[in-house]
Structures are given as C-alpha cells and as structure tokens.
C-alpha cells in the first residue's frame, strides 16, 4: 500500500475538479473504461443500480437515458447540483460511501469507479456498506488506483509541476491510496465478496499527459471530451501503450478493475 500526497486534500481536489467542468454528457464509447466494465456487470435491465461516487455523471446518464433504474450519489454537492440542473429526472443525491442511507439488500448492482481509493479512513467500512446494500447474488464493479511504476511516475510528474509553480512549500495532504492487485483482492475477500474478475486497466495512459502522443482530436486537452470518448492516443502512442500493457500490465495500468458478487 502506498499513499499519494498532494497540495490539496482529497475533498478540495474533487470540489475544484467538478466545479471547473460542466456535468458530463452520457458516455459514448462502450469499448473503454468505465463503460466497458459496467456493461460486463449490469446484465439484467430490471435490476436496481447504485452508482457510488458518480462524479460528473457520465455513467449515471448513460444508464438513465436508456431506461435503467439507476441512482447516483457523490459527496461533492456541486457535482450533484450540476447533474440535477442538466437533467432533473436523474436520481442523484449527495451521500458518503462510508455511511449509506439505504436499507440492506436495496440494489442488484453497485458501480464504484475510482471511488474507494479516495478514502483515507473507512475503506473497510465502505466495502462493508457496499456489501450490505447489495442483494444476495448482487454484483459490485469497482476500480482502484494501482501501486506501480505508472502511478509513481504520475505522482512524480505532478510533484515536479507543483514545484515549478511554487507549490512546494504547501502542506501535503492525503490525495489517494494505491494498492497492489493482491491487496485489492484481499479487502474484498475479507468482506465476504467472491471475486469474479480482476484486471489491470488503463484509464488515462501516462502517454496521454504528453500532447505528442494524443490522437489528433485530443491534442488540445478537453476533459469532458476525454471523459465521454476515452483518453485517445495517436496511432504511435497507442502502439507504445499496447506494448507496455502487453508485457508489463501490472506496472503500466493505472487502475485495477474488480467485479465481485455477494455470496
Ligand atoms: C474518479 S471519480 C469517478 C466519477 C465517476 N464514477 C466516473 O467514473 O466518472 C471518483 C468520485 O468519488 C467521489 N468520492 C470520493 N470520496 C467519496 C465518498 N466518501 N463518498 C462518496 N463519493 C466520494 C468523488 O467526489 C468523485 O466524484
């Protein structure tokens, strides 16, 4: 386990992030994270879905627009108010994964992309809450930041950038937790989940940080576009990324995606 520290604490980081961009459009690309993995999880259209940590809403809106019964929550007010403004028919609310208001066994699916690694305290409690609100046989799909070369490099680049813009003397606060594949598996197993799938995934390849490796439509960074389409690389960038992922997947993924069910 490795902890990433940054200048802004986790909650301030997300508040600024969601304050800075409009609500997401529904995701379009079924072949990339996270929709690809949500699709592997949600098999029954009648099953109730909880999206925990829905953020700007790209997954929530995708399923809502297709008539699924999905409720999303996030602990950042501005993310939820932007979503309600853009589509008042969405079931979206402010909430915290460590203390859910829902009764036991309320949902068939829980989608939790990029959520649990934000917890400095209460990770085990959050996983237990997830287990509690799932019905018997219900399925969770969740991603977690990997502890590997890629995330170490990302953290180093970010620290270097902060230093060059004069932020080096600021107090360092908890930003995210990073886990190895084994550590990630173990916290779900300890909570009684049965793991069906766990795999290394590239959400935002490190090469995407450099415009030279981005696809032509992505040279100028547009976060909403990248969130809807996926972080697209140029032909060469994609080949390089494929090579790294083929031979060193555990070192060049940035997250692990896990799918597990309640026994
Ligand atoms: C990486 S973002 C993912 C957003 C969305 N799931 C997606 O894939 O587009 C993680 C989200 O978790 C939210 N979050 C962090 N800690 C949380 C907590 N304790 N309870 C609820 N949401 C939280 C953040 O505000 C952020 O929106």
pLDDT tens for each residue of 64-98: 999 999 999 999 999 999 999 999 999 999 999 99
| 2-201+254-262: CATH class | alpha beta
Nearest residue (CA) to ligand 1, atom 13: 53
Which pLDDT score is estimated for 167?
Answer: 64
The per-residue pLDDT of the chain, averaged, comes to 95
Whether pLDDT at 188 is above 80: yes
Q: How confident is the model at residue 26 (pLDDT cuts 50, 70, 90)?
A: very high
Nearest residue (CA) to ligand 1, atom 14: 53
Ligand 1 mean position to 243 CA, how many Å? 30
Which pLDDT score is estimated for 155?
Answer: 94
Whether pLDDT at 8 is above 80: yes
CB of 140 closer than 8 Å to CB of 130: yes
Residue 81: exposed, middle, or buried by beta-carbon count in 10 A (0-12, 13-18, 19+)?
middle
pLDDT tens for each residue of 28-49: 899 999 999 999 999 999 999 9
Nearest residue (CA) to ligand 1, atom 18: 96
Mean pLDDT of 238-243: 94
pLDDT tens for each residue of 100-127: 999 999 999 999 999 999 999 999 999 9
Q: For ligand 1, what atom is nearest to the CA of residue 34?
A: 8
Which pLDDT score is estimated for 165?
Answer: 79
- Hey, is 202 helix, strand or coil? coil
The domain ranges of the chain are 2-201+254-262
Helix axes 10-20, 77-86, angle to 10 degrees: 20
- Cα gap 103→226, rounded to integer Å: 36
- How many residues belong to the chain? 263
Nearest residue (CA) to ligand 1, atom 11: 53
pLDDT tens for each residue of 203-225: 888 899 899 999 999 999 888 88
Mean pLDDT of 169-193: 94
Which pLDDT score is estimated for 235?
Answer: 95
Whether pLDDT at 191 is above 70: yes
Whether pLDDT at 23 is above 70: yes
Helix axes 181-190, 123-133, angle to 10 degrees: 50
Tell me the pTM.
Answer: 0.94
- Cα gap 146→64, rounded to integer Å: 30
pLDDT tens for each residue of 147-156: 999 999 999 9
Ligand 1 mean position to 15 CA, how many Å? 10
Ligand 1 mean position to 113 CA, how many Å? 7
Give the angle subtended at the CA of 13 by the CAs of 52 and 198, to the nearest 5°. 40
Q: For ligand 1, what atom is nearest to the CA of residue 97?
A: 20
Which pLDDT score is estimated for 125?
Answer: 97
Which pLDDT score is estimated for 168?
Answer: 66
Which pLDDT score is estimated for 221?
Answer: 87
DSSP state of 55: T
Which pLDDT score is estimated for 99?
Answer: 94
pLDDT tens for each residue of 122-169: 999 999 999 999 999 999 999 999 999 999 999 999 898 888 877 666
Q: For ligand 1, what atom is nearest to the CA of residue 14?
A: 25
Within 6 A (CB) of ligand 1 lie: 14, 34, 53-55, 58-59, 74-76, 79, 96-98, 113-115, 118-119
Q: Which of 27, 79, 115 to mutate to test the pocket of ligand 1 (most atoms within 8 A of CB)?
A: 115
Give the angle subtended at the CA of 40 by the CAs of 39 and 41, to the nearest 5°. 90
């Amino acid at each position: 386990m490795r902890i990433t520290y940054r200048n802004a604490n986790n909650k301030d980081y997300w508040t600024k992030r969601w304050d800075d961009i409009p609500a997401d459009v529904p995701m379009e690309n079924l072949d990339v994270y996270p929709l690809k993995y949500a699709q592997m999880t949600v098999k029954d259209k009648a099953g109730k879905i909880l999206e925990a940590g829905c953020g700007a809403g790209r997954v929530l809106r995708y399923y809502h627009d297709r008539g699924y019964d999905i409720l999303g929550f996030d602990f950042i007010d501005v993310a939820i108010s932007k979503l309600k403004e853009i589509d008042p028919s969405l079931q979206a609310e402010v909430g915290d994964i460590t203390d859910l208001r829902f009764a036991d066994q309320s949902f068939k699916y829980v989608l939790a992309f990029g959520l649990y690694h934000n917890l400095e305290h209460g990770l085990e409690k959050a996983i237990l809450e997830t287990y509690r609100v799932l019905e018997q046989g219900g399925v969770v799909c969740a991603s977690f930041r990997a502890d590997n070369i890629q995330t170490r490099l990302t953290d180093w680049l970010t620290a270097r950038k902060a230093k060059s813009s004069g932020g080096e003397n600021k107090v360092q606060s908890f930003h995210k937790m990073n886990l190895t594949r084994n550590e990630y598996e173990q916290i779900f197993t300890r909570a009684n989940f049965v793991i069906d799938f766990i795999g290394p995934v590239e959400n935002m390849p490190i090469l995407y940080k450099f415009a030279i490796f981005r696809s032509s439509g992505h040279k100028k960074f547009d976060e909403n576009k990248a969130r809807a389409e996926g972080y697209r690389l140029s032909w060469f960038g994609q080949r390089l990324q494929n090579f790294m992922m083929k031979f060193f997947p555990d070192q060049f993924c940035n997250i692990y995606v896990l799918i597990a069910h309640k026994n």
